[in-house]
C-alpha cells in the first residue's frame, strides 16, 4: 500500500450527485483527507460550484461536470471528463439517485423507467466506464512504485435502508436499491482479479436539504426521533465512511453492503413495550 493507509493524498476520485446532500458531504470529506475530486451533478449547479470552491480552498484540485445520468452516453462522458481533468482514476462513488413516494398501484411506466435509469442503470454504466481507467491507474502506480503493492481501485455504490426493509410508498425506489446491492456484490466478485474492490453504503435517516423542502413540518427533533441511536445522520457522517472505503486501509474489504443507519435496520418494527420483570 502506498503511503499512510488512511490518507487520500494522491488519490483521484469521482463522486456523482455531489452538488448537494450526501454527495456534497462525501466530496468535501474526500478532499479534507487529501484527494483531488471530480464533482458530477445534474441540476444542482450552484451547489456544485460552491463544493468545488470549498475543495479548492483546501488546496485540492476539483472540477464540476454536469451530466444527466438518465442517458448512458452521459454516464460515459462524465467518467471520461473526470479522468481527463484528474489525470487518472483511483475511485468512484456512485451517489446520484432520485426518489418519490407513490402508492404501488399509481406508479406509471414513466415513473418506473426514470428512477431505475438513474438509480441503477447509471451506476452500472459509470462503473463499466471507470474500470478500465482504474486498471490503467494500477499499472501506472506499479511501474512508479515497484516496491509498494497497489492497494487497488475502489468503487462505492450508494444504496439505502429501503433496500433491506419495506416502507409504504417506496416500491420502485426499494427495488432499485435492492438491485444496487445485488449488482455490487456480483461486481465485487468479478473485479477481484482486477484488484478493484466494490462496496455499498446503505444510509438510513441522513438529514439533507430535501427533507425540509419535501416536508415543511420536518425538524431536526423529528429526524432524531426516528433513529435508535438518538440523532439523525448528517452528510459528513457518510463522508467519513466513504473516505475509509476509498483509502488503502480498506484494501481487504469488498462485496459488502454497509447499513449506515444508527441502528435503524437492526430494530424490530413492532411497537411494543414489554412489562418489567423482577429478576
* Enzyme catalytic residues: 159-160, 173, 177
Cα separation, 104 vs 60, in Å, equals: 45
Alpha helices (H) in 169-264, listed in sequence order: 171-191, 209-214, 220-225, 235-246
Q: How many Cβ atoms from other residues are within 10 Å of residue 131's Cβ?
A: 21
Residue (of 225, 166, 203, 245) closest to 21 by Cα position: 203
**8 Å CB contact between 112 and 183:** no
**8 Å CB contact between 94 and 127:** yes
- Report CA-CA distances (Å) from 207 to 29, 100, 204, 238: 17, 16, 9, 11
**8 Å CB contact between 53 and 267:** no
Determine the 3-state secondary structure of 178 from DSSP. helix
**8 Å CB contact between 116 and 96:** no
Residue matched to cell numbers 476539483: 62
Residues 6+ apart with CB under 8 A from 189: 255
Q: How many Cβ atoms from other residues are within 10 Å of residue 100's Cβ?
A: 13
Amino acid at each position: 500500500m502506498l503511503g499512510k493507509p488512511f490518507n487520500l493524498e494522491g488519490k483521484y476520485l469521482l463522486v456523482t450527485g455531489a452538488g448537494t446532500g450526501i454527495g456534497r458531504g462525501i466530496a468535501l470529506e474526500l478532499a479534507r483527507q487529501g484527494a483531488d475530486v471530480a464533482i458530477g451533478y445534474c441540476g444542482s449547479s450552484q451547489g456544485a460550484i460552491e463544493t468545488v470552491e470549498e475543495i479548492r480552498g483546501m488546496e485540492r484540485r476539483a472540477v464540476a461536470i454536469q451530466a444527466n445520468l438518465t442517458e448512458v452516453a452521459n454516464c460515459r462522458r462524465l467518467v471520461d471528463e473526470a479522468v481527463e481533468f484528474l489525470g487518472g482514476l483511483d475511485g468512484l462513488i456512485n451517489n446520484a439517485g432520485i426518489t418519490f413516494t407513490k402508492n404501488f398501484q399509481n406508479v406509471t411506466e414513466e415513473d418506473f423507467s426514470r428512477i431505475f435509469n438513474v438509480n441503477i442503470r447509471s451506476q452500472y454504466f459509470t462503473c463499466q466506464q471507470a474500470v478500465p481507467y482504474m486498471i490503467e491507474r494500477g499499472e501506472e502506480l506499479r511501474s512508479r512504485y515497484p516496491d509498494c503493492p497497489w492497494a487497488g481501485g475502489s468503487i462505492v455504490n450508494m444504496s439505502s435502508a429501503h433496500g433491506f426493509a419495506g416502507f409504504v410508498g417506496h416500491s420502485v425506489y426499494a427495488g432499485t436499491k435492492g438491485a444496487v446491492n445485488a449488482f455490487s456484490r456480483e461486481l465485487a466478485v468479478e473485479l477481484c482479479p482486477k484488484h478493484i474492490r466494490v462496496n455499498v453504503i446503505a444510509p438510513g435517516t441522513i438529514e439533507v436539504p430535501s427533507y425540509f423542502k419535501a416536508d415543511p413540518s420536518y425538524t431536526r427533533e423529528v429526524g432524531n426521533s426516528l433513529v435508535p441511536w438518538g440523532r439523525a445522520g448528517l452528510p459528513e457522517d457518510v463522508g467519513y465512511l466513504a473516505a475509509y472505503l476509498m483509502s488503502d486501509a480498506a484494501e481487504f474489504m469488498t462485496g459488502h453492503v454497509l447499513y449506515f443507519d444508527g441502528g435503524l435496520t437492526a430494530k424490530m418494527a413492532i411497537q411494543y413495550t414489554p412489562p418489567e420483570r423482577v429478576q
